[in-house]
Every structure is written in C-alpha cells, then in structure tokens.
Structure 1
Amino acid sequence: MNTYTATGCDWGSTQLARFMRRHGDADLDALRERAAREPERFWGQVLDAIGLRWITPYRQTLDLSDGVMWPKWFVGGRLDLVDNLVGKHARATPTKIALRWEGDRGELRTISYAELAAEVERVAAGLRALGVGEGDRIALYLPMIPEAAVMMLAATRIGAIFIPFFSGYGADSVAQRVQDCDARLLVCANGYYRRGKRVDMLADARATVRQCPSLRQLVVVDRLGSGISPEAGGSGDCIEFDYRRLPVTVSSCPLTAFPADQTLMLIYTSGTTGKPKGVVHTHAGFPVKAAQDLLMAFDLRADDTLMWVTDMGWLMGPWMVYGGLMLGATLVFFEGTPDHPDAGRLWEVVARHGVTHLGLSPTLVRLLMAREGSLPAPRAIATLRLFGSTGEAWNEAPWRWLFEDAGRSRRPIINYSGGTEIGGGILACFPGLPQKPGSFNGPIPGVAADVLDPSGQPLRGTVGELAIRQPWPGMTNGFWRDAARYQEAYWSVWPEIWAHGDWARVDEDGHWFVHGRSDDTIKVAGKRVGPADFESALVSHPLVVEAVAVGVPDALKGEAVVCFVTVADSAPLAQRSWDDCEAELVEHVGRLLGKPLRPSRVHRVAAIPKTRNGKTVRRVMRAAYLGTALGDLSALENPDAIAAVAGLGVNRPVPAADALPT
C-alpha cells in the first residue's frame, strides 16, 4: 500500500515535534518509551504544554495502591477547571471568539470568551439557587447549541456532574439513563431543526419527568423561539424553569477548587449490546487527555478553529469543548446536517467560520462521494489545515477521495481511534508524517498500546487484540455503580492489561490498522477476517456505494459472510437482474480476498442502518437478519433500514413499522 504525505503540512513545525525537541526525544518511539518508563516526568510536561493551572499542586502523579484498574492521578491536586477553560482566556483576550454556532436554517451566533465566562457564571449561580450542589447529577438533553457548552461548564463550576444525552433519543431512552444516575435536574431544548424540519424535544422531556421521581426541576432552552408555556396539568413535583430566567439569589458563585479525581461527567454508551453503561470521567483526567490529544495529534493552537460533525451526547462533543477551550481555540457548533440543503453545505460552513480543523466520519465521506456537487471549491477550504476522523474503519477509496480530491493532497487526515471509556484516542496519525489510507502512525504518547495474541504476547504483521499495558489520565474511573461490569468489559482477558475489544494490526512499515470490533470479526473456516476487508472489497466495485459485512452461522464453515450494499443512483442496473449483479460482486470479493472468502450472499438495500453519529450497527444488523433480540435502537438515525434487513433474513417477517423507534 502506498504512503502519502500532505504537502501543506510540515512535521518539524508541529507542536508535537517541538515538544520532542524540547525534551530531548529522538523520535516518536523514544517519546512513547519514555512516557511509559517515566510517567511522572512525561505527564508533568504535558500539563505544562496544555497550560493547566492548579489551585493546590498535586503531590503525586500516579498512585496504583488500589491496582491498575483504579489509578489515582494527580493525587492531592485541586483545580478550578472552568478558569482553565474559560476564565484565563477571558482575562487575556476578552473579545476573542470562543464559540461560533450555525443552525440548520442558517442562523448564526458568536460568543466571545468574556461573554462565555459571564454566561457560565450566571447559569452556575442559577443552578445554585435551584439547590443543585456538588455531586448532584444534571442531565443534558440538548442539540448542538451554545447552551449545551454553557450548561456543562456551569455544572463543572459548582462541582455537579453533567450527563450529556444524544439529542435524538426518545423519552424512554432518556428516562432509562436518568433513572440509572438519579439525576435531580433535566435541561432540555424545546426543539431544534434538522433537514429543514422542526424536531420537538419538550414533550419527550416532560414524558421523561413523569417516569423519573428523582427529577425535581426541568430547565427549558427556547431554541425554537416560540416561547415556553407550562404543561397543562404540570409534571408532578417537578418545577419548570425558562433557561433565560433562572432564579439568581447571588450575582456569582464563590470560587471553588475541586479534587483532580472528582467526578466531572457521566457519558452513556449507546446500549446496543445491553444496558447502557455510565462511563465516569474526572475533573483532571478527561480535559487533560482531550487537550493533550488535540495538541499532539491534531496540532491545535489558540488561533485555530475546531469543528467536529457530532452530537453533544457522543464523546466528541464534550471532548471538543473541554480540549478545545483548554487550548484557547475557537469552536464551531453546527446544528444542521452537512449535506442539507445540498452536498456543498459542509464546505460553506467551513468557509463561513474559517474552520482550520474539521472532524467527520468515513460514513459522511462515503455519502458525499456519491452526491453531485460535493467537492469543495479551493476558496471554500482556504483556511482548512487538516481533517479529523473517528468512529469507524476507513475503506481506501473514500480515504483517497477525501485526501486527494477534497483536500487536494495538502491536508492530512488525522485518523483517530479510541473510545468513550478512553476519554479520547489510543491511536492517531500525526500531521506531517507519512500516511497509508485508513492507517494510524501509532499510539498517542502516554498510551502504552500493543497488539497481542491470545496468550498476551506482542504480534506484528498479523491481526490481534488491541490492548493497553498501563493506565493513562483520561481512562474511565469505572462504570457508574457497576464495578463488576467494568472489570468484565476491560480487565478479564489478561491480568492487569486493558483489552479494548478491537482487532488491530501493525504492518511491516510500522503503520497501525484497526479492523473493527473483535466481536464483529468473522471466522470463516478457521480464518479470522475483519468485516472491513469485505466492505473495502465491495466498495471498490463501481456498482457499490456502501457495504456492510456480518458473519452468520454456517454448518460447514462455522461462519459464512452475508453482505448488504447500497448502489449508486447512476449504476447501470436497468438491463440486469440483481441476481447477476450479486454473482458479479461475490466473484469480485473472491478475486480480491481469495475464493474461500467469497460471501454467501450480497443483498441490495436502500440504506445502511446507522446511528446519528455515523456508526454502522453491524451487530444489530446481524441480529435483525437472524431474527434475534435487537437491543436498544434509540440511537439509530434510520430504524426503518433495520426492518428491511430483517425482511431479507431466511423466513423472517418484516417487523411492523410501529415496532421500531422513530
């Protein structure tokens, strides 16, 4: 596989290269080895690089007296996190823009660091007036609007714990998570706009209140501009407040520093494989990891503008806020969808706000590839320095389209893989270094990652389990009230080694690849193959736009491969049956992967089921095809697509439309 280097990026001028020169590291491997060998020295240097200030300095970097599962970071340290994120920048450059917002219908807002500091102070005082205090849980059910960042920061200001929820959840999904964490306050918007249509949220929020006795107050943000009328009959003992008119008994809150290991945030996973997990992150660990990754992997600077196409209920939303503000950058919140009203919308947003760092998913890139008018004009991306990508594995063709066609081979794609429980990334690319399509340059310094065989020995050149040998500051502090599940999820494969659940490989040139979740891996006649291998083979055929591969039971091979594809509107199908096309695709995969790995079926579907943040739900598709339990589908963007997959299964009835979430 060829390597590529973005012509518009100089490795030697990056913050990571300067960090290495400053501290005498000959190369990235030397830095990684030193970080593992001398964590106290390394993390102290990271704190200096990101500019974190302590009210009470910590006396010990890392305490493992409770075991590697439960590390204590920056022991004895106390910090005013909001001052690190907002206050210090507001004092230094009060008029600098902290947040830019663009709504689905083109509405625009800008908020300076000084204005953000004042609004956070107002809302924090309002929360105190409502009786919310240290350790209380505040559930956030908000779209990508500035108030989402303000509420997170206001909760942080008073030591409360915020829990961001996906804005597309229905009442039952929100209630399940509120009940799990016993939140006392729910903050919602009355709605938002998506693809030009109004999406109401307030009715679901009020339905949640009726299911959750712990909720005492509901705070409503008037995103729609339609005003907020109290619900007829009320919501029991829960009192509603208008966000703009929170009661304030004092003009500001007393300055308070909180311990480094105090809980900052709970963020719930989607729950497609069981009860959602409340991942615990701390005041120091999460923002340190987010800011370090943005500095080292993304080369984000104070004069940059960061935008990630995401939702505040997914990790990348809070990650962008706590990492980007720590470094003094400008953030762009985009409420809309990047291909509405046309495929050029994303690039218009980039140009309008001067975006330098754009985060997006491979799924979005595949969608844009298939649309007319999706390539940006040179002037539209004049400010853009790099792309970021996370959430799923790449196929080579979409990667090359983004790098060569959209980015003109000048902008690196910072492939970034980690997870909610990681607090950021395990693996990344680094600006200015050579890349292979879909690969990573390797672990982010400070994350002692490896690829291991079943006995725990390192592997190179072949696929194994992605693992981490040492703790890091952004590591989750367990699951909320479920230590046993946390231990089973990550610490049950090898003693004192984090097993991440991804298949990975390091090639002969030292480039890393992630081949998907290990429980998605398909074992055909004893050979383990990642679904991405089949999917990449299929999308290399001119008929196919998107592809998903799953393994199904097979009496002869153990597992057989069943694939689902979407085809281009212009695909030449008019004179051909799908049976002929399917046979051609099966043979095409066989030529690329070998005849034993030919799929047993290739089904054509109108749409691939995905979550709102662009992830493909292979396990749900497999369950639908086999007619087994589907799990929680509340994060799905297009639940009707699951019904279509179920209808393709052998003798499987199509679920009724009202049996699936909308």
Structure 2
Amino acid sequence: MDERISSLQSENRTYPPTPAFAAAANVDESAFDRARELGHVAFWEEQARRLAWDRQWHTAHEWSPATEAADGTLSVPAAGWFLGGRLNVAVNCVDRHVDAGDGERVALHFEGEPGDRRSITYAELQRQVSRAANALESLGIVAGDRVVVYLPVIPETIIITLAIARIGAVHSLVFGGFSAEALRFRVEDTGAKLLVTTDGQFRRGSAVPVKGIADDAVDGNPAVETVLVVKRTGDLTPEIPWTDGRDVWWHEVVDTASPEHAAQAFDAEHPLFIIYTSGTTGKPKGLVHTSGGYLTQTSWTHWAMFDSKPGDVYWCTADLAWVTAHTYEIYGPLSNGVTQVIYEGTPNTPTPTRHFEIIERYGVTTYYTAPTLIRTLMSWFPDGVPARFDLRSIRLLGTVGEAINPEAWVWFHENIGGGTAPIVDTWWQSETGAAIVAPLPGVTTLKPGSATRSLPGLSAKVVDGDGVEVPRGGGGFLVIDQTWPAMARTVWGNPERYRDAYWSRFASHGYFLAGDGAAYDDDGYIWLLGRIDDVINVSGHRLSTIEIESALVSHPGIAEAAVVGVPDATTGQAIAAFVIPSRNRPTERSTAIEDLDIDGWRGLGAELTDELRAHVAVAIGPIAKPRTVVVVPDLPKTRSGKIMRRLLVEAVSGDVAGDVTSLQDDSVLPRISAILRD
C-alpha cells in the first residue's frame, strides 16, 4: 500500500558550523563513526558510564519485539536497558556535583512572574531535595508509590520532583493550568497517594486560586492520603479550602525536615515517572519511563546537542509538566551540572519583552523554546529585537514541539542568535523520552526547517505504508527502526494499548511508529511534515500541513498559520488556512490589528484570501492553494506550544468536542468560532 506524503517545498539555504564553534564543540564527526563501529547497544553502554552507578549492569540490553502468534495475535513488546545496574537518579543530578566540589555553582536562577527572584546553588539544592525526601518519607511515601505534582514553574517543582526520584517513588507532573477533571483523571489513573499543589498561581498578572481545583480533583478518592500545599500566592488568594488530617503546608513539613538524607540506589528499570500524552483525541496515555536508560540518553543528548559547557547559562522555556522539561529542564541539565533559568510566567507579562529581559539579566547562553513562541515573537517584533536589549550572550539556540517554519528559523537565527548561533532543531516525543533526530552544532550543516539526521546511536527512517524506505525526495511515515535507551516501556495499566498504538502497524519490521509524517530531501535530511492524522488528501494528493503553513508564514504579512483539511464534495478534502497577521500588516481600514472586532477580522480575511492563495501557488504549487483563508487573532495551542488543529476542523463544522483541557488560552476557540459564523 503506497501511503507516501507529497513533499512539495524545497529549501536551499545552508548554515555550516563556524570553524571556531566546531573546534571547541563537545562532539565531532567521530561520534557517528564510533556508534557505527560499536553498534548502538555498546555505544549507549559507553554513554551510561558518564553517570554514577552504585552497581554495574550485567546485561546491557534485552528486547522482545511484538511478534505474531499462530492465532494472529501480537505479543506485547518489552525492553530493558542496563539490567542489574543500580543508581539513584537524584544523586546523579545533584549530590555528585556537590561531591565533585561544585556545590557553590548556581543550579537554578528562578524568576517569578511578579518579579521575585531566587538563585539556588547545587549545595542548597541538595539540602532542599534532602528535606523534601525526608518529608515524603514522613508522610508514608515509599519506593514505587505514585505522587502527582500539580505546580507551576517554581523551584519547589524541581525540588519535589527530584525528592520523589531520590526515594524511588514515581512522579507524574501535571500542568498547573489543567482543570479539575484533567487532574482527577491523572490522580485516579496513577493511583497516587500524594498530591502536591499550591494555594494559588500567578497567571498573566493575576493571582489565581488553585487549591479548590486540587480539592475537586481528589474529592472522594480514598487512595489520596495527603495533599501537600506550597504557599505561593499567600494573602492574594486568602480563601483557601482546607481539609484537616489530609492537607499539610510545605513550609511546615518540608522546610522543617532534616537537610541530610541517605539515598539508596534503585534498579535501572525502576519506574521514574509517568507522563500523559495531551489527549487531543481519546483518553490520555500514561507513558512509563524508567531510570537508567532514560537518564543515560537524556544526559548524553543534552551534553552533545546543546554543547553543554561549564559557565553556560541554559534556559528551556517549557512548562515543567511537559516531557520537554522533564528531559531538558530537569534531568538533562542537572545531570550535567548546568546553571539554568526557570521562569514562572507568560512571555508577555507584563510586557512582550520579558524574555529578552531575562536573557540579558542572567546572561543566557543557550535558549531552547517552541516554534510557536518564535512565531509569536516575530509578530510582536516584526522589525527585530529592540536595540536596547543586549542578547550577545546567546551562543546556541534550540527548538522543540513541532517543525519550525524556515522563515521563523531564519528570524530566530538572525534576531535572537545574532546571525551566528547555531539552531538545534530537535525531533522527539513523550514516547521517545529524549531526542532522536537533531543536529550536532559542531558537526551538522543546518537547513532552516529540518531537524537534519538521527543522532549517533539512534536511527529513524521514512517509510511507505508497506514499511519500505522511501527514496530521497519522498515522504511517508517516520519510524524508529532500532531500540533506544530512553524509550517508554509501556502505557501505565494498559500494555496492550502501548503495543497497538506504537508497534502493531509495522510489527513485521520491528518499527516504532511515531505518528508523524516526514520526508527526505536530496541530501537525506529529514523534514517533518506534521502528524499523520493532519495530512490533507486533495484530489488524491496527500499534502503536508507543515509545508503549506511554512509557505503562508513566508508571506511578509503573516506571523503564524495553521492548515487543516475540511470536507469538500469535489476534491474529498479542501485546505482551510487559519492565519495570524503580522502587526505591521497594512490594512484598508484605520483600526489597528489588535483592536479589530469580529467584522474587522472577517474583512481582513477577505482582503488577504486572494493574495495568500496566489502566494502559496507560487511557493508550492496550485494544488496546495487554500480554499478558505480565515484571519484570526490567535490559534488554539497547548501550553507546550503545539497547535491543536483538530479543534480548528471542529470549529469549521460547528461542533467542538473532545479534550480541550490542555489549551493554553481557552478564550481563543470561541473567538475563532465567532469569526467563522455568518
């Protein structure tokens, strides 16, 4: 069955590493040679030795793929890495740096949304994590227990996460903006004994009560024995519901605990955390990640991709509940002894320059963020970063979450990176645990919009519907064709769903199906084409949403775009484009873009439709011209920066349903629906 995806757009701009960067880089071309020479298992054994192990493993890797029985049923695949090895993940992230004499190095620069700031050294982090570990044990939490963490981006979130890992419990972090219903599902599904939350949170300049949401989520759940509450907003949210005998204050049980804690080691396959997929369709899946393999790949890829060096100040902008932050904001940076920034608030609170201020204040050297934010910054600052901000500390940039449009890549490189900083465009997922496809900044010649190639010791391919690798220039399904240490081991409580979701489609080949479409260019670079479910079939042509969106964003009047397929009686599906105009977009009316009413947005759509259709026809081809162009003030996005295109399809049909709890701003969809209505 040929299910190739048409790849119509080309990108010829290239950015090789500068000689100075390449000469000082942590990793050179020999890493690829080494991985090929050793084989992927022995290569990852070599990287595992970067960590501190209490006991070495006896078996590097075991793998039982999904195989078909005589009755046609598939077995559930099972993987193990570094079996017999024992380590403590938190010790690897904190204690060993203190033991090495780096206790006075700053681990965390925290910036709160209201402007409060704290800097925490590795020695202080060790004391705080030890206090939290002692407090958890005093509350009856033991190895294997599940703890749900419902907190914003504050130091206590990292402290409690590391403390849970330190005692061998299993954490599940939940975005602090989720509803009680979404939180309840995760608490019940994990069977958590403890929920950690706050009295309130700061969101877009306001103090918002949170404890009541947490209470609703655990109401009637006998498994939850304790709710541990961090005082964050205090007198700004005074009416805090309280259940005596269940609720305890952080400052009363953690801050008063002993700062010394004797950590024990756990098996490499001991569960470390459960992270839930966003649930854009169906029930969210709780993916289980274990300790030794996950930390091995997480630590090495962070060190290699971000060229992590002493003295760097690293900032990953993700919310701590997302897998991006688990891997490249908690475990990766801390395992490498990095100084990093964490920021509680939104990018435009109180002004759209907040991120520039933070970069300048702390001397950020590595800035890792989502394409959505980059496109937003483009719309806020079409003429570039205001000259009053000094961003010269930046030496490396990174992107994550979805494919980045080439024009956004170039804007990021020139305006945030000063035209010199390489961009590490990473492809990976909650399921993969750590990066799979990404450039090495001292090795790889970059192309705007491409995550380039698989990292050393890893392998991804683009195949057709029969599992046959497509030729150069062809598109199809992105698969991972060999095992990797950070792979999710199962879906919590439902191993059959793990098999069916990821391994059944290409079981005869042993491929992991990522769920993304991709294409090779003539040099063998991988280009992400969007989720397979988002591919649009127009008159038999399977078109990539990402390519059409990139063409739209390349228009000077457009800051961001989302493309979806909608029913069409003639072509089967037609292309509907939702676009956000640039602030400098000239209009035929005097009203500023940000002040347009519903009729104004419709009118702007009428102005732009023919212009954008013609632009896409030139950039890609007439087959990719949108039938409909809708100009909107914003798009429905998750807090991790992904556009929820499924909601746009439902908005066109007038029937929005399903899980919308992961939306960053729940007011966006009603505004889009109002613009669509006659």
Q: Same fold (TM over 0.5)?
A: yes
Report the Cα offset of residue 218 of structure 1: 0.6
Name the CA shift for 1:465/1:486 in 2 (closer, same or farther; >3 Å): same
Which residue does 2:251 correspond to in 1?
A: 244
Matches within 5 A, 1:347-366: 347-366=356-375
Which residue does 1:657 correspond to in 2?
A: none
Report the Cα offset of residue 145 of structure 1: 0.5
Which residue does 2:531 correspond to in 1?
A: 517
* Partners of 2:297 and 2:486 within 8 A in 1: yes
2:563 matched to 1:549?
yes
* Partners of 2:62 and 2:80 within 8 A in 1: yes
Which residue does 1:658 correspond to in 2?
A: none
Which residue does 1:505 correspond to in 2?
A: 519
Tell me the distance in 2 between the aligned counterparts of 1:250 and 1:327. Answer: 26
Q: 1:618 aligns with which of 645, 650, 669?
A: 645
Q: Deviations over 1:30-79 (max 9, x none)?
A: 345346xx23321122123xx20111110110012576931110010011
Which residue does 1:158 correspond to in 2?
A: 167
Which residue does 1:33 correspond to in 2?
A: 36
Secondary structure in structure 2 of the residue aligned to 1:503? strand
- One-letter identity of the residue aligned with 1:416: T
Q: Deviations over 1:253-286 (max 9, x none)?
A: 4431100000000111111111111110111122
* Partners of 1:175 and 1:212 within 8 A in 2: no
Secondary structure in structure 1 of the residue aligned to 2:347? coil
Task: Report which stretch shifted further, 502-511 or 152-161.
Answer: 502-511
Tell me the distance in 1 between the aligned counterparts of 2:611 and 2:389. Answer: 41
Report the Cα offset of residue 227 of structure 1: 9.3
Which residue does 1:89 correspond to in 2?
A: 97
Matches within 5 A, 1:399-410: 399-410=409-420
2:280 matched to 1:272?
yes
Name the CA shift for 1:558/1:352 in 2 (closer, same or farther; >3 Å): same
Which residue does 2:334 correspond to in 1?
A: 325
Q: Deviations over 1:97-148 (max 9, x none)?
A: 1111001122110111111111111111111111110111111001111111
Secondary structure in structure 2 of the residue aligned to 1:380? coil
Tell me the distance in 1 between the aligned counterparts of 2:139 and 2:238. Answer: 20
* Partners of 1:186 and 1:217 within 8 A in 2: yes
Which residue does 1:660 correspond to in 2?
A: none
Secondary structure in structure 1 of the residue aligned to 2:608? helix
Q: Deviations over 1:403-448 (max 9, x none)?
A: 1233221101110011011102121122133211111230112222
Secondary structure in structure 2 of the residue aligned to 1:116? helix
Which residue does 2:200 correspond to in 1?
A: 191
2:450 matched to 1:439?
yes
Which residue does 1:455 correspond to in 2?
A: 466
2:634 matched to 1:581?
no
Which residue does 2:63 correspond to in 1?
A: 64
2:22 matched to 1:11?
yes
Which residue does 2:500 correspond to in 1?
A: 488
* Partners of 1:139 and 1:178 within 8 A in 2: yes
2:421 matched to 1:411?
yes
Q: 2:549 aligns with which of 535, 538, 548?
A: 535
Which residue does 2:596 correspond to in 1?
A: none
* Partners of 1:626 and 1:649 within 8 A in 2: no
Report the Cα offset of residue 355 of structure 1: 1.5
* Partners of 1:358 and 1:386 within 8 A in 2: yes
Tell me the distance in 2 between the aligned counterparts of 1:566 and 1:379. Answer: 26
Q: 1:299 aligns with which of 302, 307, 310?
A: 307
Tell me the distance in 1 between the aligned counterparts of 2:309 and 2:131. Answer: 28
Report the Cα offset of residue 199 of structure 1: 2.4
Name the CA shift for 1:456/1:616 in 2 (closer, same or farther; >3 Å): same
Number of residue-to-residue matches in the alignment: 637
Which residue does 1:570 correspond to in 2?
A: 584
Secondary structure in structure 1 of the residue aligned to 2:162? helix
Tell me the distance in 1 between the aligned counterparts of 2:587 and 2:389. Answer: 37
- One-letter identity of the residue aligned with 1:124: A
- One-letter identity of the residue aligned with 2:626: P
- One-letter identity of the residue aligned with 1:219: L
TM-score by length of 1: 0.92
- One-letter identity of the residue aligned with 2:342: F
Name the CA shift for 1:229/1:627 in 2 (closer, same or farther; >3 Å): closer
2:490 matched to 1:478?
yes
* Partners of 2:128 and 2:259 within 8 A in 1: no
Report the Cα offset of residue 5 of structure 1: 3.1
Percent of aligned pairs with the same residue?
A: 35
Tell me the distance in 2 between the aligned counterparts of 1:547 and 1:66. Answer: 40
Report the Cα offset of residue 384 of structure 1: 1.5
Report the Cα offset of residue 583 of structure 1: 2.1
Tell me the distance in 1 between the aligned counterparts of 2:259 and 2:476. Answer: 56
Tell me the distance in 2 between the aligned counterparts of 1:425 and 1:547. Answer: 26
- One-letter identity of the residue aligned with 1:200: P
Secondary structure in structure 2 of the residue aligned to 1:163? strand
* Partners of 1:625 and 1:647 within 8 A in 2: no
Tell me the distance in 1 between the aligned counterparts of 2:231 and 2:427. Answer: 36
Task: Report which stretch shifted further, 620-629 or 396-405.
Answer: 620-629
* Partners of 1:175 and 1:211 within 8 A in 2: no
Tell me the distance in 1 between the aligned counterparts of 2:133 and 2:62. Answer: 32
* Partners of 1:9 and 1:431 within 8 A in 2: no
- One-letter identity of the residue aligned with 2:162: L
Unaligned 5+ segments in structure 1 are 652-662
Tell me the distance in 2 between the aligned counterparts of 1:175 and 1:268. Answer: 13
Q: Deviations over 1:620-660 (max 9, x none)?
A: 21122224452111111222222233446688xxxxxxxxx
Name the CA shift for 1:564/1:227 in 2 (closer, same or farther; >3 Å): closer
- One-letter identity of the residue aligned with 2:502: Y
Give the CA RMSD over aligned residues: 2.2
- One-letter identity of the residue aligned with 1:440: A
Report the Cα offset of residue 572 of structure 1: 2.2
Task: Report which stretch shifted further, 475-484 or 195-204.
Answer: 195-204
Task: Report which stretch shifted further, 189-198 or 276-285.
Answer: 189-198
Matches within 5 A, 1:194-273: 194-226=203-235, 234-235=242-243, 239-246=246-253, 252-273=260-281
- One-letter identity of the residue aligned with 1:166: F
Secondary structure in structure 1 of the residue aligned to 2:115? coil
- One-letter identity of the residue aligned with 1:588: H
Name the CA shift for 1:325/1:251 in 2 (closer, same or farther; >3 Å): closer
- One-letter identity of the residue aligned with 1:76: G
Q: Deviations over 1:459-515 (max 9, x none)?
A: 221111110111111000111001111111111211221011111112112322111
Unaligned 5+ segments in structure 2 are 1-11, 67-75, 590-602
Tell me the distance in 1 between the aligned counterparts of 2:37 and 2:675. Answer: 53
- One-letter identity of the residue aligned with 1:149: I
Which residue does 1:316 correspond to in 2?
A: 324
Which residue does 2:398 correspond to in 1?
A: 388
Report the Cα offset of residue 6 of structure 1: 5.3
Give the structure, 1 or 2, with the largest relative contact order (CA under 8 Å, sep 6 or more). 2
Which residue does 1:659 correspond to in 2?
A: none
TM-score by length of 2: 0.89
* Partners of 1:415 and 1:439 within 8 A in 2: yes
Tell me the distance in 2 between the aligned counterparts of 1:8 and 1:314. Answer: 35
Report the Cα offset of residue 610 of structure 1: 1.0
Which residue does 1:47 correspond to in 2?
A: 48
Name the CA shift for 1:634/1:442 in 2 (closer, same or farther; >3 Å): same
- One-letter identity of the residue aligned with 2:321: G
* Partners of 1:6 and 1:411 within 8 A in 2: no
Q: Deviations over 1:496-549 (max 9, x none)?
A: 210111111121123221111111111111111111122122222233221111
Name the CA shift for 1:456/1:221 in 2 (closer, same or farther; >3 Å): same
Secondary structure in structure 2 of the residue aligned to 1:574? coil
Tell me the distance in 1 between the aligned counterparts of 2:257 and 2:611. Answer: 72
Name the CA shift for 1:526/1:13 in 2 (closer, same or farther; >3 Å): same
Q: Deviations over 1:237-265 (max 9, x none)?
A: x6111111117787744431100000000
Report the Cα offset of residue 306 of structure 1: 1.4
* Partners of 1:230 and 1:240 within 8 A in 2: no
